[in-house]
A and B are shown apart, each in its own frame.
Chain A
């Protein structure tokens, strides 16, 4: 008697689940569909998307774009996209892909390849961002904003920016009391990977060989690069609290006059000049990153837009992709409003732009010489290995040599080694 009741309930439950599973659509859209789209991007800290969306919506009343903003943290943006892709959600038509996620998302088959009817003309674009959006020889995303590391410095205290690390350390003597000398992003997250690889590159080291896969980080150059940061904490030219800094806290430290040198992204420029509480409005300059024996190399950042294979309006999505790469949007929205780095070559030589943003040639050089982080579908595991070991090295609980050995082994293991 008892068993029969349980059986009836169980059958009812299984039927319900079966119906529910059948309801979700898992069909891939054939392509070319037109209609309203949703554009998913991280938190709009630069305030550029409302105007761009309005311009598109005015011209395309039947194919409106809705901008959906995610968290401001890259790891959470990544996880959010992964969740929706695993659920085959057709509601995410275009997703903003950080340069480090392109390989992973493309390898998992979530992005529409941009070839054939979806080919993009890349001749007016900078080389680095285009390469970053390419995986296995095919473009999977359309770059719309680039990013490179820059050195912001107090030109009222240090008239010429340092070009080497030893110059920077001796310039520390020029700071006033209550100031820290050098700051970056050293909390345990993706920003730390950026700072760490920039230091490694700056000493002539590398993370992976030119094939993009084999790790080669256990070298004396890489150790010298990491030691620039480790010694910073040991000797005090990096303030102790910087171990908790992400982009915004480090910007705030520089903006309130408590830091002599800051390594950060171009978006900071708008805040330093435009914010009401900025103590450094006309007192700062922008320079390329210093390195060990000469100028250093920044890591390539930036974002691209990719079409989800589960989108039902891929035709409209593709047109929106091309729209955000037009010279007008690149110059007038991304650069002038958000001080983000455009991906087209033209804005960097536009005279009105250079008059307003004198650091543009520095930024272009930074992006042109930027080295990407390892391009791999296993990037989450790679960056975790780098973050964890570098963080412990900065805290002084792990020797630099062991940290590099662990990173080397971690990258090998990530790719199934």
Chain B
């Protein structure tokens, strides 16, 4: 290159750089304008979320640090409860973790409720993942009537949980459907483990379709060529499943597991309607509602504890399993 062309190139370079800065500034201004518009568009939703979700959560935390009216004592002359509201700090939190209360009181039920909730979570999620993946594999194949099977599989998920609970309560009666079909005479809602299994069976029946759907979505993104080449290389069905399907479906599966775990940790409606929380089927949410009858602020403290517990579990799950809740599947299926 001669010095002249070098200079010219340099000048062109400068002009090019200038145009580049001009373009970047225009893009920045445009994106600023975009972002302002975006804020204005989502502001109503954010306001709604703050009112519907944020305000109650903050209100519950504030209440949980105040003395409840029911614990303020009774005025001996009028017989009315005294005013509550005084700041008592972590009194109610200490009550839940460390009650030493007699059997039959809500305070005594905290640790059993934690145990029950964790048992429900672990067992139902394991069953749902196994059964849901099997169902997804079946639905993934092309066969006659596949559309009907896919629609039918969704029916349990579509039925409202209260109806499901009543349905299973009816079926689990001593002379009900389940006992007649299997020829047993188990009193399902009469003792601890039968009642727990009744609740878990109802939950597994209801939400396996949810996992099946999410896993199916994950399956459909896997390119067929992978299977072709694996077959050519001599891999059998089990090896194809373990080496190709599972790793590629893992992101979708982990998202499904995360959602299910969070759902079961806060479960209320199914056990409450089916067994009313009796026979050690009281979960943390049921315990909070039971406490509402006696002391609102203690119930608020328990709700906050449940909220933090679930938050912690979600955090741990996302970190440990690197659940890519935000990334799409496509990024992981690199050719």
Contact = CB atoms under 8 A, between A and B. Distances in A.
Contact of A406 (B54, B104, B190, B293): B104
Nearest to A390: B104
Interface centre among A135, A244, A377, A392 (most CB of B within 10 A): A244
Nearest to A73: B276
Interface in B76-130: 78-81, 101-106
B69 A385 contact: no
B62 interface: no
B79 A106 contact: yes
B259 interface: no
Given A106-B79, A240-B187, A243-B190, A385 B102 contact: yes
Given A377-B74, A410-B102, 13 more contacts: A17-B51, A20-B51, A82-B293, A106-B80, A107-B80, A109-B81, A189-B276, A244-B187, A377-B79, A384-B104, A385-B102, A395-B190, A410-B103
Given A20-B51, A377-B74, A188 B276 contact: yes
Contacts of B290: 384
Interface of A: 5, 9-10, 12-13, 16-17, 20, 78-79, 82, 86, 106-109, 135-136, 187-189, 240-241, 243-244, 377-378, 380-381, 384-389, 391-392, 395, 398, 402, 405-407, 409-410, 413-414, 416
A244 B172 CA distance: 11
Contacts of B14: none
B47 interface: yes
A244 B189 contact: yes
B73 interface: yes
Nearest to B103: A406
Interface of B: 39, 43, 46-47, 50-51, 54-55, 69-71, 73-74, 78-81, 101-106, 173-175, 187, 189-191, 276, 278-279, 289-290, 292-294, 296
28 contacts: A9-B43, A12-B47, A13-B51, A17-B55, A79-B293, A107-B81, A108-B80, A108-B81, A109-B81, A136-B79, A240-B174, A240-B190, A241-B190, A243-B187, A243-B190, A378-B70, A381-B105, A381-B293, A381-B294, A385-B102, A385-B104, A387-B104, A395-B190, A406-B102, A406-B104, A410-B102, A414-B105, A414-B294
B287 to A, nearest CB: 11
A386 to B, nearest CB: 7
A272 to B, nearest CB: 21
A377 B47 contact: no
A384 B106 contact: yes
A97 to B, nearest CB: 15
Contact of B50 (A10, A79, A414): A10
B47 A384 contact: no
Contact of B47 (A16, A135, A378, A381): A16
